Chains A and B, each alone.
Chain A
């Protein structure tokens, strides 16, 4: 069993996301430490991309700030290495980024460095099932899970995707891009039921979740809850002072889904 799958073994998993390098990588690293302390089961590290077409304005703007501040893929690898070797972070971590960041670096070279640094998997929102082989084979060679996404529009594709999924399955809660939503209207339980019929891989729900109440509700139908934009907003608001606030927020979410 992969480290990622293990993250879902101790009750409901809270999965926070953070954009690396906003406002700087030192702050990102401190936030990750706080997330672990607060009880995060798995952490998503966003490697910024110049043109993130699946993101709403909050993560898009954070990505651009991070790039302007000089964040690069190599610097993110170095931060992850430090988190693992010097800062005591043991929870599984996955990269979330775009196909070109990995492809342009060289898929093999990227996976090798990610794996050496201590990464457990990757989420590439612009690599659907039909295009995954190019990435998945190499990921497997380096012990990385390439996380599959399922959307409200996936319908008859769910079984096909779920059968080949590893690590966990990322269920996209709503149409559209990432970002805080006041209401999620998708019939999540029926999507989860279709996934369960095809696979034992744990399911986590993301997109649009920001409040403990939403997290609590979503966690009833799935194994975990993913939150990105709400955390990235806190970082934007508090800058270098963000780690403490991020820690408190993550704790409130972890408590809500217990």
Chain B
């Protein structure tokens, strides 16, 4: 009997071409070997602390709390990491693993460019070759990150197939990996794809909630009531949730990109508008039509503009352990501006989706409730696009 591995409830699995199966098995074996290896973990912790700047701060947003007049709000500052987002947590782990496996070349997909920049950074640090696949549409709306990746020594390949966004970049990475396996590690950027990726990426991102739990206990002497994070594929969200999943009193809320609204076709809110399917190596929820054709999705955020969600989130949704809400472009842009003016923190437009939901939720809660919002990245990369959204051309 064949064994289906890497299941999260009915989700997950390994739906990939036979050509990649041995590569995936090799990766799983290497990960199982190194994940509890003290030497590996010592190296990784040093990289995270000395190179990426961890632990990231848990910051009490005093003005925002006062202004919204409800729950006490803390921000988990992943935007302060080296390269400007949570993506570096996973990339340093995978690059180190790839190095131990004898791989000399990293390939990666990227949407907003944050994962691409993080991968290019790790490749530069480890002296590895790096090729980043990015939808052509995204290379245009995130031109600054394209330049950063090139500066770091990576090749950036604009993907023109399909909708020329994140899903097409993932497809192109899978095609590239089947072409060149021996020396290449596919450094997948989210908690998606075939097993073991959803587990590997989750474990490397779980540092977010491991830290925040200790930090909130130190500051408040108790666990938070709410944890909010934006959710596309779901890597910062699962990292933010992971160490609270067993803590029943902690409400977990993933904030999906509704684009122009979940009642329109221009949306990327997978849990809110999708249904179960099989794509990009996994069984999970996907935006698709009645025949299973993957739907073109839309969000102002290139990082959330993906028609699927990681299988562990799909399971947390099925069980009701986590809740997934939809946030529109307009709400996210308002939140982007609000956090900038209120706290002097410019969040990534992705993270602004979580801030937007907090702005709705916090005022409805009593003052003794505690909420943590993960600010997954910083918003410098988004300034030109937000200016355009507001009808202003800043000649980037």
B174 interface residue per 8 A CB criterion: yes
Knowing A51-B279, A54-B178, A176-B179 are in contact, say whether A130-B162 is a contact too (CB < 8 A): no
Kindly provide the distance from the CB of A122 to the nearest chain B CB, expressed in whole angstroms.
14
Chain A contacts with B in 32-81, Cβ cutoff 8 A: 49-51, 53-54, 56-57, 60, 64, 67, 72-74
B2 touches A132 (CB 8 A): yes
Chain A contacts with B in 108-143, Cβ cutoff 8 A: 125-134
Closest B residue, CB atoms, query A55: B175
B2 touches A129 (CB 8 A): yes
Pick from A49, A72, A103, A149: contact of B18, CB below 8 A: A149
B293 touches A151 (CB 8 A): no
Interface centre among A101, A125, A176 (most CB of B within 10 A): A176
Closest B residue, CB atoms, query A177: B175
- Residues in B whose Cβ lies below 8 Å from that of A130: 2-5, 13-14, 21
Pick from B171, B174, B178, B286: contact of A100, CB below 8 A: B286
- Residues in A whose Cβ lies below 8 Å from that of B178: 54, 175-177
B294 interface residue per 8 A CB criterion: yes
Kindly provide the distance from the CB of B307 to the nearest chain A CB, expressed in whole angstroms.
9
A126 touches B278 (CB 8 A): yes
B19 touches A50 (CB 8 A): no
Knowing A51-B279, A103-B278, A132-B2 are in contact, say whether A155-B179 is a contact too (CB < 8 A): no
Instruction: Please measure, in the bound complex, the distance between the C-alpha atom of A127 and the C-alpha atom of B171, giving whole angstroms.
Output: 16
A105 touches B179 (CB 8 A): no
Instruction: Please measure, in the bound complex, the distance between the C-alpha atom of A50 and the C-alpha atom of B277, giving whole angstroms.
Output: 13
Instruction: Please measure, in the bound complex, the distance between the C-alpha atom of A152 and the C-alpha atom of B5, giving whole angstroms.
Output: 23
A100 touches B167 (CB 8 A): no
Knowing A100-B279, A101-B291 are in contact, say whether A131-B17 is a contact too (CB < 8 A): no
A150 interface residue per 8 A CB criterion: yes
A104 touches B291 (CB 8 A): yes
B19 touches A151 (CB 8 A): yes
B319 interface residue per 8 A CB criterion: no
- Residues in B whose Cβ lies below 8 Å from that of A51: 162, 167-168, 171, 279, 294
B161 interface residue per 8 A CB criterion: yes
B68 interface residue per 8 A CB criterion: no
B22 interface residue per 8 A CB criterion: yes
Chain B contacts with A in 170-189, Cβ cutoff 8 A: 171, 174-175, 178-181
A129 touches B293 (CB 8 A): no
Chain A contacts with B in 203-243, Cβ cutoff 8 A: none
Chain B, interface size: which category?
35 or more
B90 interface residue per 8 A CB criterion: no
A85 interface residue per 8 A CB criterion: no
Knowing A51-B171, A105-B291 are in contact, say whether A175-B19 is a contact too (CB < 8 A): yes
Pick from B20, B168, B292: contact of A101, CB below 8 A: B292
- Residues in A whose Cβ lies below 8 Å from that of B121: none
A133 touches B4 (CB 8 A): yes
- Residues in B whose Cβ lies below 8 Å from that of A151: 17-19, 21
Instruction: Please measure, in the bound complex, the distance between the C-alpha atom of A104 and the C-alpha atom of B275, giving whole angstroms.
Output: 9
A49 touches B293 (CB 8 A): yes
B35 interface residue per 8 A CB criterion: no
Instruction: Please measure, in the bound complex, the distance between the C-alpha atom of A100 and the C-alpha atom of B278, giving whole angstroms.
Output: 5
A157 touches B22 (CB 8 A): yes
- Residues in A whose Cβ lies below 8 Å from that of B40: none
Instruction: Please measure, in the bound complex, the distance between the C-alpha atom of A140 and the C-alpha atom of B175, giving whole angstroms.
Output: 30
Interface centre among B20, B286, B293 (most CB of A within 10 A): B293
Closest A residue, CB atoms, query B170: A53
A176 touches B17 (CB 8 A): no
Kindly provide the distance from the CB of A195 to the nearest chain B CB, expressed in whole angstroms.
13
Interface centre among A57, A125, A126, A157 (most CB of B within 10 A): A126
Interface flags for B240-282 (1: CB within 8 Å of A; 0: not) read: 0000000000000000000000000000000000010111110
A175 touches B179 (CB 8 A): yes
B137 interface residue per 8 A CB criterion: no
Instruction: Please measure, in the bound complex, the distance between the C-alpha atom of A150 and the C-alpha atom of B23, giving whole angstroms.
Output: 14
Kindly provide the distance from the CB of B259 to the nearest chain A CB, expressed in whole angstroms.
18
Kindly provide the distance from the CB of B162 to the nearest chain A CB, expressed in whole angstroms.
6
A126 touches B162 (CB 8 A): no
- Residues in A whose Cβ lies below 8 Å from that of B290: 104
B60 interface residue per 8 A CB criterion: no
Knowing A128-B16, A130-B5 are in contact, say whether A105-B174 is a contact too (CB < 8 A): no
Instruction: Please measure, in the bound complex, the distance between the C-alpha atom of A56 and the C-alpha atom of B286, giving whole angstroms.
Output: 23
B394 interface residue per 8 A CB criterion: no
Instruction: Please measure, in the bound complex, the distance between the C-alpha atom of A131 and the C-alpha atom of B175, giving whole angstroms.
Output: 20
Pick from A72, A73, A98, A177: contact of B179, CB below 8 A: A177
B16 touches A126 (CB 8 A): yes
- Residues in A whose Cβ lies below 8 Å from that of B179: 175-177
Instruction: Please measure, in the bound complex, the distance between the C-alpha atom of A35 and the C-alpha atom of B308, giving whole angstroms.
Output: 39
A252 interface residue per 8 A CB criterion: no
A154 interface residue per 8 A CB criterion: yes
Pick from A57, A100, A175: contact of B292, CB below 8 A: A100
Knowing A100-B286, A103-B277 are in contact, say whether A127-B291 is a contact too (CB < 8 A): no
- Residues in B whose Cβ lies below 8 Å from that of A133: 1-2, 4
Given A104-B277, A176-B19, 4 other A-B residues pairs in contact with their CB atoms under 8 A: A54-B175, A60-B161, A152-B19, A175-B179
8 A-B pairs with least C-beta separation: A104-B292, A176-B179, A151-B19, A99-B278, A50-B293, A100-B292, A151-B18, A149-B18
A-B CB contact pairs (8 Å), 16 listed? A49-B293, A51-B168, A53-B280, A57-B161, A67-B293, A99-B15, A99-B279, A100-B292, A103-B283, A103-B292, A104-B278, A104-B290, A130-B2, A130-B4, A130-B21, A133-B2
A residues with a Cβ closer than 8 A to B are 49-51, 53-54, 56-57, 60, 64, 67, 72-74, 98-105, 125-134, 149-155, 157, 161, 164, 172, 175-177
B residues with a Cβ closer than 8 A to A are 1-5, 13-23, 161-162, 167-168, 171, 174-175, 178-181, 275, 277-281, 283, 286, 288, 290-294
